[in-house]
Structure 1
Amino acid sequence: MRSQRQVWGDTLVELVRGDDRVVVIDGDLATSTMASRVAEQHPDAFIQAGIAEQSMVGMAFGMSTLGYRPWLSSFGVFLTHRALDQVRMLVAQTGAPVRIAASYAGLLNGSSGKTHQDIEDLAIMRAMPGMTVVAPADEFEAAAAIRWADTFAGPVYLRLARDAVAPVFDSDYRFELGAVRTVREGADLALVSTGVQTSRTLAAAELLEAHGISARVVHAPTIKPLDPAGLLAAAGGAPLVISVEEHTVIGGLGSLVAELFADHGVTTPLFRIGLADEWSESAPNDFLLHKHGLSPRRVCEQVLARLRQ
């Protein structure tokens, strides 16, 4: 298995090799985000901006007006919080084709703690007009989404996880903006997930099977724009829908599903699993996933508790 940050570094090397307009602008985290692979193999396509995220966004916007295809490389939290004004004003409002590679996104970031855990990014970025938001499930979807984003004509926020997960797809996967993927069939309920949490949600569905519960798993890699008909077709017919995300339950995937159900008059019960409205802490991955109810076992337990109600 490869992590999404490894895939990002390797794929950018390929893109730079084939197109001298592609450039990576890094915020002094190249060895963590794997942008260092571009720096090592194609130094002319790599710009080290230092700890200056706001300036990075300005540089990317300016280069996009000259025909370059810039990628921003940093931890997601710095791009969605420290540089938020520049992303909003220079990228989203202008529609500039700037690709935001938000590495170390979510809860699991190598025990850096709440200062570096970006558990609000999906809510922030999907609320921003003009921004496309993508959260791939695994290494294969990440590679496909990166190649797709490189040629997209507008701003893209790409949520990338630090650590590898069990693959959901294979090397034949093709990314399609907005598409919803049913990755496991089931009749008793539908689990809707996004990003690398989908891998853990699939594992939770296997645990539920041992309890006699047939769980469908629906993966939504595109948070914005999402195909409403596709999601309703995949999840709307289930007796119960449960969203599962490595993100706060406020404003993310669960909120998106609730909004779609409300807009289309869907009365199916919806339960949201994610981080509560509280800050997290520095701890190993397994501890954090268990505490915040996102490990396969804890997801299974919460589903069973909801069914008992």
Structure 2
Amino acid sequence: MTHEPPFGAHSRRKSKYTPRVAPGAGGARTSAMIASLDAEGRETVAAPFGHALRELAAARDDIVGLSADLSKYTDMHVFANAYPDRFYQMGMAEQVMISAAAGLAREGFTPFATTYAVFASRRAYDFIAMAIAEENLPVKIVCALPGLTTGYGPSHQATEDLAIFRGMPNLTVVDPCDAVETAQATHAIAAHPGPVYMRLLRGKVPDVLGRYGYKFKLGKAQTIRDGRDVLFVSSGFMTMRVLDAAERLAADDVDCAVLHVPTIKPLDVETIAAEAAKSGRLVVTAENHTVIGGLGEAVAGALMRAGVHVPFRQVGLPDEFLDAGALPTLHHQYGLSVDAISASVKSWL
């Protein structure tokens, strides 16, 4: 029997960082530190990945699940409870989990392997490269706590995972925005014949894109709203933030478009270049990731190679190990909050 402590099996040591707490948070500090993101005032969906995987398994007997002692914290428990004979609890051994997933894929299964993003990207990289990506096996690596979605400091903050995995051949990289997209993307990556790394928002996940009639398409960027002054090019939950920032900026007569880019690799260069080439707009990338090696630099490189020369800025995390603390405090401190995004855009115009 495995043991999963409150914020993950790998978190037994205390962080050396002093937590920063939002003013007035008081006793709410702990919940603020482990929350995936601020969803106040939004409708939420519980465990969209877990329920989507369970739906897939009902129709496909090749779907199997694995977790590195974190099934409850990656929503894999929904699948495990429904299909216990198709679930493998691998313990605190990410490399073993990845190797087992590769073996299952070779035998005709489609494995979904879950852990925290830091452990997949930092600990299991070589195993993913050699056992899965080089062989182009259909293993789906789905990881919670991407970027700054936990307040527990650098041991849990996967601020560089996109940079790490963008450089791996054969690997598709997906960063969904919300519950709607997480469920749709789960079905899409299951149908994809190769390996996938997908960032995961777990627990109660906001429903943001549903009101726009959004449909996820693997490898495609989609315009969520149009605007004349600023083009946000965003991924993950930062699309939620820039949509809110666009509403805020509209009050100051700043008209913002939002181009959502859920597939980081392969990047939809054609759509991004076409949108950026529309004259007169500042292009601002927004990502829950360090500004080194993620969506921002991918977009900048793509635009340069396409010959599209436009004013360009990045919203992202700094190239440093981040503080521990309450997420609302950290998001504002590092420029990911709606207030911070709005202020940055106004300063750039």
Match of 2:23 in 1: none
Match of 2:59 in 1: 18
Match of 1:155 in 2: 195
Match of 2:267 in 1: 226
Q: What secondary structure sits across from 1:70 in the alignment?
A: strand
Instruction: Compute the TM-score of the two structures, normalised by the length of structure 1.
Output: 0.95
Match of 1:36 in 2: 77
CA shift at 1:165, angstroms?
Answer: 3.4
Instruction: Compute the TM-score of the two structures, normalised by the length of structure 2.
Output: 0.84
CA distance in 1, matches of 2:78, 2:212: 22
Q: What secondary structure sits across from 2:217 in the alignment?
A: coil
CA contact (8 A) 2:276 2:308 kept: no
CA contact (8 A) 1:165 1:199 kept: no
Match of 1:264 in 2: 306
The structure-2 alpha-carbon separation of the partners of 1:90 and 1:171, relative to structure 1 and needing over 3 Å to count, comes to farther
Match of 2:135 in 1: 94
CA contact (8 A) 1:144 1:173 kept: no
Match of 1:57 in 2: 98
CA distance in 2, matches of 1:183, 1:282: 33
Match of 2:237 in 1: 196
Match of 1:122 in 2: 162
CA distance in 1, matches of 2:214, 2:230: 26
Report whether the alignment pairs 1:143 with 2:183.
Answer: yes
Match of 1:177 in 2: 218
Q: What secondary structure sits across from 1:174 in the alignment?
A: coil
The count of corresponding residues between Structure 1 and Structure 2 is 305
Please, which of 235, 241, 246 is the counterpart of residue 283 of structure 2?
241
Please, which of 269, 283, 287 is the counterpart of residue 325 of structure 2?
283
Show CA shifts across 1:199-232 (max 9, x none).
Answer: 0110011111111100111110111112211111
CA distance in 2, matches of 1:60, 1:171: 36
RMSD: 1.5
CA shift at 1:170, angstroms?
Answer: 4.9
Please, which of 132, 151, 155 is the counterpart of residue 172 of structure 2?
132
Q: Which runs of 5+ in 1 are unaligned?
A: none
CA contact (8 A) 2:223 2:260 kept: yes
Higher RCO, Cα 8 Å, sep 6+: 2
Please, which of 323, 334, 342 is the counterpart of residue 292 of structure 1?
334
The structure-2 alpha-carbon separation of the partners of 1:203 and 1:166, relative to structure 1 and needing over 3 Å to count, comes to farther
CA distance in 2, matches of 1:76, 1:2: 22
Match of 2:28 in 1: none
Report whether the alignment pairs 1:255 with 2:294.
Answer: no
Match of 2:12 in 1: none
CA contact (8 A) 1:126 1:133 kept: yes
Q: Which runs of 5+ in 2 are unaligned?
A: 1-42
Show CA shifts across 1:26-85 (max 9, x none).
Answer: 100111111111221210111000000000010000110110010001111111111011
CA distance in 1, matches of 2:322, 2:207: 24
CA distance in 2, matches of 1:106, 1:227: 22
CA distance in 1, matches of 2:206, 2:240: 7
Amino acid paired to 1:250 = I
CA shift at 1:243, angstroms?
Answer: 0.6
CA contact (8 A) 2:44 2:207 kept: no
Choose 98-107 or 156-165, whichever is displaced more: 156-165
CA shift at 1:167, angstroms?
Answer: 0.7
CA contact (8 A) 1:25 1:70 kept: yes
Match of 1:7 in 2: 48
Please, which of 105, 112, 115 is the counterpart of residue 74 of structure 1?
115
